C-alpha cells in the first residue's frame, strides 16, 4: 500500500475539478479515494502560497504510519501516560447537538487529575470562543475568564495546579474555526485599512471585531435580494481584501455573487475557508449540509481553492503548539471524523484516537474505501475510565 | 452557444440575422445549444422571436431540456420524483417530459427553524436531484437536496452545467450554475453527472436525433472551457468567437490549453470574410 501511495504522490496532478478536498496552509494534504499524498512545507502565507505547494510531491515520513490499521484502544493508561496534551473535537466527542455525551465530565476530571492539558478544537464557526465557553457552561462544565481574555474551563470539583513547566496558569482553551480565521489574518498582518467580507455567522464577526478587523456581510446579507433589471450591476467594496467563508444558514445568491466579485475583481483578495466539512450537526436529529457547501459554491464560481484555517489544516495545531510551547509528539488528538479530526492529528504529527460516538461508525473506519487510519479507536472518551478500571 | 455568439444580454449581436440566413441558404442545419437552464426551449423560442430571428423550438437545446432528456434516456421511473434546485425552465421541461418534481423557485422562500431535535423531512421517492443556476438559492435547498442525495438509495445527482460565471445582465459577470453545483459537491462529496457543455450528452443527443455525423459539425462558441471543449469532446470542428467572454489575450495566454481550430471576431465575419475572398 505504501508503494501505491508513493506512485500516486508522484503522478497526481492538481485540477480544481478533482475531488481533492482539504488544503493546509503550511502543509498540503490531499485525500483521494485510494491514496494519501502529502506535499512539502510551505512557509509563506500569501494567496500564491497554495499554488506553490501544489507542485511539490515530496513525501512526508508519516505516510508509513498512516497505512497501518487502527487498533482498538485496550490500554488507556499507556496512551494517557504517553502524552501531555489532549486535543478534543467537540461535536460527537464532548457533546452531540445540545446533549453532553455520557461520562464526559468524569473523564475530563480524570485527565486533569493526571496533569494533562486539555484543548478543545472545533471546526464550527457559528460561535465565538466566548460563546462556546457559554455552551460548555450550559452543559455543566464551568467556565471562568482569566487574564489576557483567554477562557479557561475548570471543573467545579477540581482546580488546576499550575504546572511547573508553564510560566503562567496552565490553561484549557477552546479553538473554534471562527477564531482561527481572525488569528490567521493577524498572523499575516492583514492590513487594518482593508475589509473582510464574511459569508458566515455571528462567531466569525465577533472574532474579527475582537481582532480589530473591519468587516462586511454576515447574517444581515441573508435578507438581501437582487433586482435583475437589464443593465443592472451589483456594486462591491473595492477595499475588501479577504473573503472568509464558513457555515451559513442564511446563505443566498446575493452573498455568492458579492463574495465572487470580491475574489475575482479585487487584486490579491484572499479566499479563506473556516472549514470544508461536508456535514455538521446543527441539531442532533440528523446530518446537516456543512461549511463545505458554502465553500464549494465559491470554488465553483471562482475556480479557486481556498486557504483552509480549520481542520484538517494544521493552522490551529501550529498556533496552539506555539502558544503553549507543546511538542506535537506529546499530543493526542481525539475526534470523531476521519477526514478532519484524524487527518488534522496526523498532519500535525500527533497520536490520534477516533471515537465512535459521533459521525464515524466502525464499518466506515474499516471500509476498503477509507484510507485514514488513526492510531487507536474506541467507543467514547469515557472508555478511558472503564478500560482503566478493567485493567486494574 | 447563444449568449456571446447570437446575443449579449438582451441585444442581438451585429450581423447575426444575415449570417444565419446565409447559412440556411446554403442548406446548413442550424442548432442552438445553451447551458442556460432558466428557460425552457419554448421560452427560448420566444426570446429568439422577440429579437427578430426565426428559430424553431426543435433547433434549441438548453441544459434545462438536456436534464429532462437525460432522465428519459435512462428510463427514469415515472413513479420517482425529481428535486429541482434551479429555475422555471427545468420545471417546464420536466413537466413536458412527464416527470414529477418538487422544489424549484418556491423553495426560495423556505427557511429552517433550528430548534433542538429538529429534523428536516424529505421525500423518500426523490430519485434524482437536478441542480442548475438558481438565483433563489438558499440553505433550505442545499439541505433538502443533500438529504436526498445522501439518504435515498441510488439517488442521482445531475447538474445542468458547471459554468463559473454567467451573464444574468450584460453589465458584469454573475456567479453561475457552477456555484450551486459546487455547494452540493461540497456537502455530498460526490461529483455530478453533467448534462450541459462540455459534456457531450447534448451533442450525442442531437447527432442521434438528426442523424448527423459529428465530423460534419462545426461548434461555434465564446467560451473555451464549455463551448470549445464541448466541440472537441464531440469530435467536431471548433470556431471561437471573440464577441463574448473570451478575449484574444485569454486565448493566447500560456495558462490556456484549449485551442479551437479557428477563431474570429463574430459570426458575421462569415459574410465579410467570404466577400473578401471573392
User: For every one of its 278 residues, what pLDDT tens digit does chain B have, with 9 covering 90 and above?
Assistant: 577 899 887 788 999 999 999 999 999 999 999 999 999 999 999 989 998 898 988 899 999 999 999 999 999 999 999 999 999 999 999 999 999 999 999 999 998 877 778 899 999 999 999 999 999 999 999 999 999 999 999 999 999 999 999 888 878 889 999 999 999 999 999 999 999 999 999 999 999 999 999 999 999 999 999 999 999 999 999 999 999 889 999 999 999 999 999 999 999 999 988 666 65
For chain A positions 340-359, those within 8 Å of chain B (CB to CB) are none
Domain boundary among A253, A273, A308: A308
Q: In this structure, is residue A329 part of a structural domain?
A: yes
Is it the case that residue A195 has pLDDT exceeding 50? yes
- Asked if residues B151 and B120 have their Cβ atoms less than 8 Å apart, the reply is no
Q: For the segment B203-259, what is each residue's pLDDT rounded down to a tens digit? A: 999 999 999 999 999 999 999 999 999 999 999 999 999 998 899 999 999 999 999
Mean pLDDT of chain A: 79
Decide: helix, strand or coil at residue B197: coil
Predicted pLDDT of residue A96: 85
User: Both A255 and A284 in a single domain?
Assistant: yes
Q: Is B213 on the interface with A (CB under 8 A)?
A: no
Q: DSSP state, A329?
A: G
Q: Which residue of chain B has the CA closest to A16?
A: B182
Is it the case that residue A159 has pLDDT exceeding 50? no
Report the share of chain A in percent with pLDDT over 70.
Answer: 74
CATH code assigned at A304: 3.40.50.1000
Domain boundary among A292, A308, A324: A308
Q: Is B258 on the interface with A (CB under 8 A)?
A: no
A376: closest CA of chain B, how far (Å): 26
Q: Which of B131, B226, B133 is closest to B175 using CA atoms?
A: B133
Q: Which residue of chain A has the CA closest to B188?
A: A278
User: Both A207 and A254 in a single domain?
Assistant: yes
Predicted pLDDT of residue A391: 56
Is it the case that residue A27 has pLDDT exceeding 80? no
Is it the case that residue A13 has pLDDT exceeding 50? no
User: Both A227 and A279 in a single domain?
Assistant: yes
Phi, psi of B188 (to 5 degrees): -105, -15
- Asked if residues A240 and A259 have their Cβ atoms less than 8 Å apart, the reply is no
Predicted pLDDT of residue B277: 65
Q: In this structure, is residue A63 part of a structural domain?
A: no
pTM to 2 decimal places: 0.84
Is it the case that residue A34 has pLDDT exceeding 60? no
Q: Copy the grid coordinates of residue A166.
A: 508553564
User: Both A264 and A216 in a single domain?
Assistant: yes
Asked if A21 and B189 come within 8 Å (Cβ–Cβ), the reply is yes
User: Both A258 and A320 in a single domain?
Assistant: no
User: Both A297 and A320 in a single domain?
Assistant: no
Phi, psi of A270 (to 5 degrees): -85, 150
* Helical axes A315-324 vs A177-187, angle rounded to 10°: 80
Predicted pLDDT of residue A282: 82
- Asked if residues B132 and B90 have their Cβ atoms less than 8 Å apart, the reply is yes
Annotation marks residue A84 as catalytic: yes
Q: In this structure, is residue A323 part of a structural domain?
A: yes
Predicted pLDDT of residue B117: 81
Q: In this structure, is residue A354 part of a structural domain?
A: yes
Q: In this structure, is residue A148 part of a structural domain?
A: yes
H helices of chain A, in order, are 2-11, 49-54, 63-66, 76-82, 104-113, 129-138, 177-187, 202-210, 253-265, 291-302, 315-324, 343-347, 362-366, 383-391
User: Both A195 and A152 in a single domain?
Assistant: no
- Asked if residues A366 and A360 have their Cβ atoms less than 8 Å apart, the reply is no
Mean pLDDT value of segment A23-34: 37
Range of the domain at A168: 71-178+312-385
**Count of structural domains within chain A:** 2
Q: Is B169 on the interface with A (CB under 8 A)?
A: yes
Q: In this structure, is residue A172 part of a structural domain?
A: yes
User: Both A173 and A77 in a single domain?
Assistant: yes
Q: Which residue of chain B has the CA closest to A32?
A: B189
Task: Return the residue in B179, B190, B256, B257 with the most chain A beta carbons within 10 A, the one to mutate for interface testing.
Answer: B179
Q: In this structure, is residue A35 part of a structural domain?
A: no
User: Both A288 and A324 in a single domain?
Assistant: no
Give A36's pLDDT tier (boundaries 50, 70, 90).
very low
Give A64's pLDDT tier (boundaries 50, 70, 90).
very low
Q: Which of A84, A173, A201, A305 is catalytic?
A: A84
Instruction: Tell me which H or E stretch contains B147.
Output: helix B139-151
Q: Copy the grid coordinates of residue A54.
A: 501544489
Burial class (CB in 10 A: 0-12, 13-18, 19+), B197: buried
Q: What residues in A contact B176, CB-CB < 8 Å?
A: 300-301
Predicted pLDDT of residue B160: 98
Domain boundary among A308, A326, A355: A308
For chain B positions 119-148, those within 8 Å of chain A (CB to CB) are 119-120, 134-139, 142-143, 146-147
Amino acid at each position: 500500500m505504501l508503494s501505491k501511495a508513493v506512485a500516486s504522490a508522484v503522478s497526481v496532478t492538481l485540477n480544481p475539478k478533482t475531488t481533492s478536498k482539504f488544503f493546509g496552509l503550511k502543509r498540503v494534504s490531499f485525500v483521494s479515494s485510494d491514496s494519501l499524498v502529502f506535499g512539502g512545507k510551505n512557509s509563506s502565507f500569501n494567496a500564491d502560497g497554495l499554488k506553490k505547494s501544489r507542485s511539490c510531491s515530496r513525501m512526508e515520513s508519516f505516510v508509513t504510519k498512516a497505512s497501518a490499521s487502527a487498533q482498538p484502544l485496550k490500554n488507556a493508561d499507556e496512551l494517557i501516560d504517553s502524552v501531555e496534551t489532549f486535543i478534543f473535537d467537540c461535536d460527537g466527542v464532548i457533546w452531540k447537538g445540545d446533549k453532553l455525551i455520557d461520562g464526559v465530565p468524569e473523564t475530563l476530571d480524570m485527565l486533569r487529575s493526571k496533569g494533562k492539558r486539555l484543548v478543545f478544537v472545533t471546526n464550527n464557526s457559528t460561535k465565538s470562543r466566548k460563546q462556546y465557553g457559554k455552551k460548555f457552561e450550559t452543559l455543566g462544565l464551568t467556565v471562568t475568564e482569566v487574564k489576557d481574555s483567554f477562557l479557561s474551563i475548570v471543573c467545579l470539583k477540581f482546580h488546576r495546579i499550575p504546572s511547573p513547566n508553564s510560566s503562567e496558569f496552565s490553561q484549557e482553551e477552546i479553538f473554534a474555526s471562527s477564531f482561527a480565521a481572525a488569528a490567521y489574518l493577524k498572523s499575516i498582518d492583514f492590513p487594518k485599512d482593508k475589509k473582510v467580507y464574511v459569508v458566515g455567522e455571528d462567531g466569525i464577526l465577533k472574532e474579527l471585531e475582537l481582532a480589530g478587523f473591519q468587516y462586511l456581510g454576515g447574517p444581515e446579507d441573508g435578507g438581501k435580494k437582487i433586482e435583475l433589471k437589464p443593465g443592472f450591476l451589483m456594486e462591491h467594496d473595492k477595499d475588501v481584501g479577504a473573503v472568509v467563508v464558513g457555515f451559513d444558514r442564511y446563505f443566498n445568491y446575493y452573498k455568492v455573487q458579492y463574495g465572487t466579485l470580491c475574489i475575482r475583481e479585487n487584486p490579491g483578495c484572499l479566499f479563506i475557508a473556516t472549514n470544508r466539512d461536508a456535514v455538521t450537526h446543527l441539531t442532533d436529529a440528523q446530518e446537516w449540509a456543512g461549511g463545505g457547501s458554502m465553500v464549494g459554491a465559491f470554488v465553483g464560481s471562482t475556480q479557486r481553492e481556498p486557504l483552509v484555517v480549520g481542520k484538517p489544516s494544521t493552522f490551529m495545531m501550529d498556533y496552539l503548539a506555539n502558544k503553549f510551547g507543546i511538542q506535537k509528539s506529546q499530543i493526542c488528538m481525539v475526534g470523531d471524523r476521519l477526514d478532519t479530526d484524524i487527518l488534522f492529528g496526523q498532519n500535525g504529527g500527533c497520536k490520534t484516537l477516533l471515537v465512535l460516538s459521533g459521525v464515524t461508525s466502525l464499518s466506515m473506519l474499516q471500509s476498503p474505501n477509507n484510507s485514514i487510519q488513526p492510531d487507536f479507536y474506541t467507543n467514547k472518551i469515557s472508555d478511558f475510565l472503564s478500560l482503566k478500571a478493567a485493567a486494574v | 452557444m447563444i449568449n456571446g455568439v447570437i446575443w449579449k444580454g438582451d441585444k442581438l449581436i451585429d450581423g447575426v440575422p444575415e449570417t444565419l440566413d446565409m447559412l440556411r441558404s446554403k442548406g446548413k442545419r442550424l442548432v442552438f445549444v445553451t447551458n442556460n437552464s432558466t428557460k425552457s426551449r419554448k421560452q427560448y423560442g420566444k426570446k429568439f422571436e422577440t429579437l427578430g430571428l426565426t428559430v424553431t423550438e426543435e433547433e434549441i437545446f438548453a441544459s434545462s431540456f438536456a436534464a429532462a432528456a437525460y432522465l428519459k434516456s435512462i428510463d427514469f421511473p415515472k413513479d420517482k420524483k425529481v428535486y429541482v434546485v434551479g429555475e422555471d425552465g427545468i420545471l417546464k421541461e420536466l413537466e413536458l417530459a412527464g416527470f414529477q418534481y418538487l422544489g424549484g423557485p418556491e423553495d426560495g422562500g423556505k427557511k429552517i427553524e433550528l430548534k433542538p431535535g429538529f429534523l428536516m423531512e424529505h421525500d423518500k421517492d426523490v430519485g434524482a436531484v437536478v441542480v442548475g443556476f438558481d438565483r433563489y438559492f438558499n440553505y433550505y435547498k442545499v439541505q433538502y437536496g443533500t438529504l436526498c442525495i445522501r439518504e435515498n438509495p441510488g439517488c442521482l445527482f445531475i447538474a445542468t452545467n458547471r459554468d463559473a460565471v454567467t451573464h444574468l445582465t450584460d453589465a458584469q459577470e454573475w456567479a453561475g450554475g457552477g456555484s450551486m453545483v459546487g455547494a452540493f459537491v461540497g456537502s455530498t462529496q460526490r461529483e455530478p453527472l453533467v448534462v450541459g457543455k462540455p459534456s457531450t450528452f447534448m451533442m450525442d443527443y442531437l447527432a442521434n436525433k438528426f442523424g448527423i455525423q459529428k465530423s460534419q459539425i462545426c461548434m461555434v462558441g465564446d467560451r473555451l472551457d464549455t463551448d470549445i471543449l464541448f466541440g472537441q469532446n464531440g469530435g467536431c470542428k471548433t470556431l471561437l468567437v471573440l464577441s463574448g467572454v473570451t478575449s484574444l489575450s485569454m486565448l493566447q495566454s500560456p495558462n490556456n490549453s484549449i485551442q479551437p481550430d479557428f477563431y474570429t471576431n463574430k459570426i458575421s465575419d462569415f459574410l465579410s470574410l467570404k466577400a473578401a475572398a471573392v
